[in-house]
Structures are given as C-alpha cells and as structure tokens.
C-alpha cells in the first residue's frame, strides 16, 4: 500500500503476521506471538503508534539480551481470592498483563471484584488494551501503572526528569455498544509519541517538553540526545499528583518499585495496580446500563442549531481503527527500518519480511 512521503502503509493482517514471525524467530511460542502481535497492531490501528510496532525493536533487543523473558508466566506472590499479587520477573509484558488481567476477571466473575497487582513486568504497552480485555468480559476496571526506565517526566515545578509517564486507564462496558475507554499518560504526551516525532523529524507542540537546561523546547531530540530534557505533566499539578499516585499504588503498594534514580537496565519495567468490578455482582447492571446511556446522550447533545462536537472516551480510537482497517496502517520509514533490523537480528531476511508485509 502507498503512504505519504517517509511513510508506508501495511495491511492489518500482513502486519500481524510479520510481528508473529519476528517473535517466533526470537523464541516466543505461538500463543505469545499471537498475544504480542494483537497488542502492538491494535495500538497502531487505534492511532497510538507510540505503542504499536515501533516498540518491537526494543522488545526484541531486550529479549536477546536477557532483559525480557519470553514464554514466561506470572507467578502468584499473594492470593487472598479477591486480592491477588503477581510477580512477572521481567516476562514479556503483553503475555504477563494478558494472563494477570484474565486471572483478575475470573476472580471478579466468581466473587464480584478483584484487586490485582502485577509487578516487575517488562513493558505492558497500551494500558487501554487491558481495559478492553475487561470490558469484553462485562467488567468495569481501573488501572494505575508506573514506569521504571530512564526518568522522562519532570515533576510539576521541577526542571528535570525524575519520573516516568505513569499512565492510567479506566474501562466502562456498555451492553450492546462500544465501551468507554479512558487511557492516557500523566505526561503531556507519551514518550513513544516523542519518539515518533523524532523519527519523523518534526517538532512537538509547545508546552510539552523542557530541554536539558530546564527551558521550554519543541525539539523532540530533548528526550533522545544529551543533555537530556524532560516531558511535562498534563494539567500542571493535577497530572503530576496523579503520576505520583501511580508510582505509589503500582510501584510501592504491591512490592514492585518506584522510580528513584537513573535507569539501571535496558528493560522498561511496568508495575500495574488494577481494580476489576462486575456490575452484575453489584446488582446494578440494569440501572448502570440505563444511566450511562442517558448520561452519554445528555453530555453529547448539542445546543439547538449546533452540530454535535463532543466525543466520548474511546471514540477517537475507534474512528482511527475503522480508517486504518480500510486504508492500511501508516508506518514511518525510520520505524520500518528499525523493525526490519530487529527481524534481521533474529535471522530473518529483509526480502522475506518486506514480502510478508506487502511492501515493495
């Protein structure tokens, strides 16, 4: 498929097949290949290229260096039924979070709710993916995540990076309709979006970045070239205090770790604190379903004579998904080169990968 200059377009199934093939060559079993391909390509489909196949090169490099474990399963650290703490020990995050969330859903189906902590996982990607897993089972869920990597975000009022982009997601199922998915980093933008801008050679909006001297900049190199700068939190002190809560809930409470210093290893570690609740078990499923529909209609209803202009959480991603399923997934040529190089590092040929992706 043809894309804009500096960009190619790859069809959904072809891209999934390529991701599966690269992970298979790296040593993942078929189940893990399917889980990670679904995760990365869904992120691209939903417009979050920061968490799509652009993450594959880091995952493969970390798997080859032993920083990320393939074909692993989370182990149970604490199990009190509705309270579950799981240890991932740097297992591939897509498998770790998939299996951990599946266990939390099982508990919530049996007992009405589950508080689940997953600690020391390799990067778990787009957090909305885990909310979507919960809403498919009819569950409401809340996820607080912290990031242990090179600090990338300045606390509000501070000039330099101290913490991660610490994301939050909330999933709300809607019987018979598309769910509401709230899913964002507590920084103004996700690091991956700065990486995409850096790879494309374009500026980021004002107000997002500080340079290595603590001064505002729009140059994405601030996160990738010395002297390293920092992302700012969204909403001034509000994003910062939510980020702070993510580190303590996801990192401290379940025995993982908070971000306290420079990165000590190449792996990007996530800890996740999740609450999964069944509206059925609460006995409110019918009134919940009625109430959210009435609310959604009210908040989006335009004043007389005005066109609709309010979107609900999750709607932008679904619009992008429909568009990309029809037109192909755009991948910038720098990212594409990095994906090909990752495939070569596990002994795949460029020609075979290009042909699998339908790229000339």
In whole angstroms, how close is the CB of 151 to ligand NAD at the nearest point? 13
**How many alpha carbons lie under 13 Å from residue 165 in its C-beta half-sphere?**
28
204: three-class secondary structure by DSSP: coil
In whole angstroms, how close is the CB of 312 to ligand NAD at the nearest point? 6
* Residue number with CB closer to ligand NAD (50 or 259): 50
In whole angstroms, how close is the CB of 17 to ligand NAD at the nearest point? 23
In whole angstroms, how close is the CB of 356 to ligand NAD at the nearest point? 26
Please provide the size of the chain in residues.
360
* Residue number with CB closer to ligand NAD (103 or 181): 181
In whole angstroms, how close is the CB of 25 to ligand NAD at the nearest point? 24
Question: What are the backbone dihedrals phi and psi of residue 196, each rounded to the nearest 5 degrees, phi first?
Answer: -60, -45
In whole angstroms, how close is the CB of 289 to ligand NAD at the nearest point? 20
How far apart CA 225 and CA 227 sit, in angstroms, is 6
* Residue number with CB closer to ligand NAD (183 or 211): 183
Do residues 44 and 15 make contact, with C-beta atoms less than 8 angstroms apart? yes
* Residue number with CB closer to ligand NAD (32 or 49): 49
In whole angstroms, how close is the CB of 230 to ligand NAD at the nearest point? 14
In whole angstroms, how close is the CB of 126 to ligand NAD at the nearest point? 4
What's the chain's Rg over C-alpha atoms? 20
How far apart CA 53 and CA 56 sit, in angstroms, is 5
* Residue number with CB closer to ligand NAD (22 or 145): 145
Do residues 14 and 325 make contact, with C-beta atoms less than 8 angstroms apart? no
Do residues 77 and 96 make contact, with C-beta atoms less than 8 angstroms apart? no
How far apart CA 36 and CA 21 sit, in angstroms, is 11
Task: Give strand ranges (E) for 68-135.
Answer: 75-79, 83-87, 113-122
* Residue number with CB closer to ligand NAD (28 or 165): 165
* Residue number with CB closer to ligand NAD (128 or 343): 128
Contacts of range 158-165, beta carbons closer than 8 Å, 24 or more positions apart? 159/210, 159/213, 159/214, 159/230, 160/210, 160/214, 160/229, 160/230, 161/228, 161/229, 161/230, 161/231, 162/259, 163/243, 163/244, 163/247, 163/259, 164/243, 164/247, 164/259, 165/190, 165/191, 165/231, 165/243
**Residue ranges binding ligand NAD (CB under 6 A):** 48, 50-51, 123-128, 145, 147, 165, 167, 169, 181-185, 189-190, 193, 270, 311, 313-314, 316-317
* Residue number with CB closer to ligand NAD (107 or 143): 143
Q: Judging by DSSP bridges, how do beta strands 269-277 and 140-148 pair with one another?
A: antiparallel
């Amino acid at each position: 498929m043809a894309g804009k200059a500096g960009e190619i377009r790859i069809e959904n199934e072809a891209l999934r097949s390529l991701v599966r093939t690269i992970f298979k060559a790296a040593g993942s079993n078929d189940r893990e290949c399917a889980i990670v391909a679904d995760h990365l390509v869904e992120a691209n489909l939903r417009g979050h290229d920061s968490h799509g196949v652009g993450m594959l090169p880091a995952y493969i490099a970390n798997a080859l260096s032993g920083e990320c474990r393939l074909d692993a399963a989370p182990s149970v650290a604490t199990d009190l039924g509705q309270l579950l703490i799981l240890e991932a020990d740097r297992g591939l995050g897509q498998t770790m979070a998939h299996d951990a969330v599946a266990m939390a859903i099982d508990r919530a189906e049996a007992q009405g709710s589950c508080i689940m902590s997953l600690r020391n996982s390799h990067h778990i990607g787009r957090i909305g993916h885990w909310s979507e897993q919960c809403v498919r089972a009819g569950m409401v869920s809340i996820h607080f995540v912290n990031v242990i990597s090179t600090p990338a975000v300045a606390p509000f009022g501070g000039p330099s990076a101290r913490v991660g982009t610490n994301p939050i997601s909330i999933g709300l199922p809607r019987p018979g309709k598309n769910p509401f998915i709230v899913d964002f980093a507590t920084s103004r933008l996700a690091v991956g979006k700065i990486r995409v801008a850096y790879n494309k050679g374009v500026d980021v909006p004002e107000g997002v970045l500080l340079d290595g001297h603590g001064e505002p900049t729009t140059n994405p190199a601030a996160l990738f070239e010395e002297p390293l700068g920092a992302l700012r939190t969204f909403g001034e002190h509000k994003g910062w205090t939510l980020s702070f809560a993510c580190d303590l809930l996801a990192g401290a409470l379940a025995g993982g770790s908070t971000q306290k210093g420079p990165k000590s290893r190449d792996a990007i570690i996530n800890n996740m604190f999740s609450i999964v609740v069944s509206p059925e078990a609460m006995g409110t499923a019918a009134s919940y379903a009625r109430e959210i529909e009435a609310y959604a209609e009210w908040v989006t209803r335009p004043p007389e004579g005005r066109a609709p202009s309010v979107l609900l959480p999750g709607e932008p991603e679904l619009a992008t998904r429909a568009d990309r399923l029809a037109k192909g997934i755009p991948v910038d040529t720098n990212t594409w080169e990095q994906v090909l190089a990752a495939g070569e590092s596990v002994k795949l040929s460029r020609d075979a990968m290009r042909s699998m992706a339908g790229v000339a």
